[in-house]
Amino acid sequence: MQYALTLVFLLGRLYLGDATPSVTHLSQCNRMLMAVEGNAGVTAPQPPTIYGEWVSTRCEVRPGPEFVTRKYKFHTDGTFTAYQFYYTDNHCTIPAYSLKLRGTIQIGDTSWIIRGATKADYELDRVLITSHRSDITEYLITKVNATCPGYISQHQRWLTHVRYHLFSWYEDKDCLEALSFAMHELQLVRVEVHKTFQPKSRTVTVRNELFLGDVHTDRSQRQRYHPTYYQTPLVNLKEQDNCSICQLIHGANDTKPPSLPALPEYPVILHGEWVSTRCEVRPEVFFLIRHLIFHGNHTWEGNYHHYSDPLCRNPTFSLYAKGYHSEGVKSEVVKGGAEFDFITTEVRITTKDTGTTDLLNAFKGDECGRRGRWEMGVEQDVTQTYGCAALGIRLPHTEYELMKMEYDAKRDTVLLFNGQRPSDGDNPTTTSKRATSYQTPLVQCGGVNMFSQDDSRRQFDQNDSANVAMQTSPSRLLAAVGTLLIFHLVHLC
């Protein structure tokens, strides 16, 4: 299986001045990496218990792009009721239309596609659709008439704020193709239980997360696609009393969709250090933890630690990559996103288990370091052999990225999102393959938090976001911090 070189770039704390991270910053990042590796306090029951209500914790970005929030309720008799709310904007403030789904689900055996996941079978009974805007109603009528001719007659056209059947098993109606819609995410299930000890109160907090299968990055493939990794997890509502967004979604339905509060939009400034917040899964299938460093002069470094298990406890190999990136420009496709081009010029690999070491030593050819000279725990530079053909790594390598950043007020830190990997396991090596949705975010672990709690009410004018994203050299960054008004900071009420 070829390894697709994963350039995952996320945003966080910003360095000011010298581009070389200090020992303090490195130790902080290492501590955070160690906390993710092994996932202490995390368990994944088999088979998973999915009963209860699960909701989104943020406005989710799906390929397309589509901006979505979700509310799923699974009952003990195997039935479920699910709501998907779609929006016109990247903050999920303006509802477009809603889907209400009913059906049954049966938890199956352990998945052979993803280690740690469970297979499931589902059947839909009905899917109801409700439009919340007149222009969206006309759009939906056009889409449905194109795939189900005659279903919407001229004498009984759809109305805004009224429910209509998009699918009904009982009436043998199926117009789901109009939206390229499928509920195949229910074919792959994983529940993680996160227990965290709180030193001040000497109590243990519990957070249950529900991972469901991913949605294909190519919209035309969704109805035939079987998931190979996960979407953003949903959380169990009963443990989220302090989550205002969770409560908003809980109180909504398909005729009264939730409108989330608009968040400040920040420029993507690639500077500082970032690490994974969890053991991540990728298509094809492998698990990894990332540690990225941006130096502010358009150069970057990345450490990608790979594992054979979904809790990142059994390392297989680590990959170090470095290169440079373009200036960021505002995305015209995905609201709130910025587009970058990343070039990898150097790669070094360290094997961590005998299986990977033997694999590389058995590889015939001169396209992966020194042939037959791989030793476990010893790093090899594969730059001179133009990468490592055995792992699917080619140099030089260019990827076309989508990125955004968010301020996490609860933890007073910054999150960096980069583009979701293509579902077919390929790399975004052409502009047409640039992502329209995001992966699991990285969290800031080194550098100065430019967007602190005191500044959380500030918002950058969207028209200037791309300009600020270009100001990434240390000198320019100092100027940016000292003269924020140059970039038209505005204050939210």
Calculate ∠ Cα 16-262-438, nearest 5°: 65
Question: Could you tell me the two tokens for 330?
Answer: 């505002």
Three-state SS for 371-399 is CCCCCCCCEEECCCCCEEHHHCEECCEEE
Name the nearest CA neighbour of 395 among 407, 383, 380.
383
Question: What is the rounded distance in angstroms from the CA atom of residue 77 to the CA atom of residue 318?
Answer: 45
pLDDT at 14: 33
Question: What is the rounded distance in angstroms from the CA atom of residue 82 to the CA atom of residue 124?
Answer: 11
Question: What is the rounded distance in angstroms from the CA atom of residue 321 to the CA atom of residue 343?
Answer: 10
Give the CA radius of gyration of the chain.
Answer: 23
- From first to last of its 493 residues, what are the pLDDT tens digits of the chain? 333 333 333 333 333 333 344 444 457 888 888 888 877 788 999 999 999 999 999 999 999 999 999 999 999 999 999 999 999 999 999 999 999 999 999 999 999 888 999 999 999 999 999 999 999 999 999 999 999 988 887 667 899 999 999 999 988 889 999 999 999 999 999 999 988 777 777 777 888 999 999 999 998 899 999 998 899 999 998 877 788 999 999 999 999 999 999 988 889 989 999 999 999 998 767 899 999 999 989 999 999 999 999 999 999 999 999 999 999 999 999 999 999 999 999 999 999 999 999 999 999 888 999 989 999 999 999 999 999 999 889 999 999 999 999 988 777 889 999 999 888 878 898 999 999 999 999 999 887 666 654 444 344 443 444 343 433 333 333 333 333 322 233 233 3
pTM above 0.75, yes or no: yes
Question: What is the rounded distance in angstroms from the CA atom of residue 293 to the CA atom of residue 301?
Answer: 5
pLDDT at 488: 32
Q: Are 407 and 451 a contacting pair, CB within 8 Å?
A: yes
pLDDT at 151: 87
251: left (phi over 0), alpha (psi -120 to 50) or beta: alpha
Contacts of 53 (CB under 8 A, 6+ apart): 71, 72, 73, 236, 237, 238, 250
Question: What is the rounded distance in angstroms from the CA atom of residue 114 to the CA atom of residue 414?
Answer: 30
Question: What is the rounded distance in angstroms from the CA atom of residue 395 to the CA atom of residue 390?
Answer: 13
pLDDT at 137: 96
Q: How many CA atoms lie within 13 A of 291 on its CB side?
A: 22
pLDDT at 58: 93
Question: Could you tell me the two tokens for 341?
Answer: 């081009």
Q: Is the dihedral of CA 8, 11, 14, 17 positive or negative?
A: positive
pLDDT at 412: 81
